[in-house]
Structure 1
């Protein structure tokens, strides 16, 4: 079943703040990341446990935060961009914390997500992003991190290719369209 993403405001005449837009982006990013984690399972890649599935979702979320940061470059000044991306990451922190607690029980899951985001941001900053989208290296890094999380077992040996060639690119296209729609 195709993922349906609503990315237009109900009332177009109402002015939206950057934190309101960030909240909508976080909801959309969460849905895309979950969809991509489910798709890996549908493509016969194997998760050993729920924590591993959540880790894959978080990798997609980190990737989408990087995409949002790149898409917002040129649209906003540095302060507005920082406001948007910080609010976006904060809302994703809440999604991760709430969903992981529901699935795994009490714990500080959101802070682990922020640690992952901070670690990966240094990696992603060196990758190119053009008007056509993320570079090969950008997508390869996402695939590499997901493969590392899922392990190199026989069933998961080709997960990096699935992420680089299909799922990562699709996640980018869906998110970029929603991002642009929310600012129209």
Structure 2
């Protein structure tokens, strides 16, 4: 399924704050994460619950935040990068909360997402990222986390391959383009 991405500003003359850029990346990232969750379903992987689907979306969002952080390290100083990533993650958490409140029993999906992000950030920090993108262990970590969420039933046994070979690389390519375009 093709996702409509908005990676350019309507008014090119205006300067954008890092918070605005982070919000725009989060908006597009949400759309990408939902698309990848739908793609998994379309490839006949089975979700047992709405919670499971939201957890998969959360893993894709965290993966994207890690990618943006790595891309931003080439364009921004440490303080600017921290501002951008904080705005990005908080906006992603808002998207999770807005969409999860009606579906899930969690009392605070925003805090749950931020806590999960903080845990995963330490895990992803140990994994390589080059000019060509995420390393094999970086992709494998995304696939592993999604497989943990979905379980290792007969239907979901190969979800890690789908994520590592197709969905993860596609998400990286789209997010790289989005991030670079929004900074121009």
Shared fold per TM-score greater than 0.5: yes
Residues 1:43 and 2:43 are matched in the alignment: yes
* Structure-to-structure mapping, 1:1-184, within 5 angstroms: 1-104=1-104, 107-184=107-184
User: How far apart in 2 are the matches of 1:132 and 1:109?
Assistant: 33
User: How far apart in 1 are the matches of 2:15 and 2:103?
Assistant: 36
| Aligned-residue offset at 1:93 | 1.0
Cα deviations by residue, 1:68-114 (Å, 9 ceiling, x for unpaired): 10000021111100000001111111111111002225720111111
User: How far apart in 2 are the matches of 1:162 and 1:36?
Assistant: 10
User: How far apart in 2 are the matches of 1:68 and 1:19?
Assistant: 13
User: How far apart in 1 are the matches of 2:141 and 2:104?
Assistant: 27
Q: TM-score, normalised by structure 2?
A: 0.98
SS in 2 for 1:155: coil
The unaligned stretches of length 5 or more in structure 2 are none
| Aligned-residue offset at 1:16 | 0.5
Runs of 4+ in 1 over 3 A off after TM superposition: none
Q: TM-score, normalised by structure 1?
A: 0.98
The unaligned stretches of length 5 or more in structure 1 are none
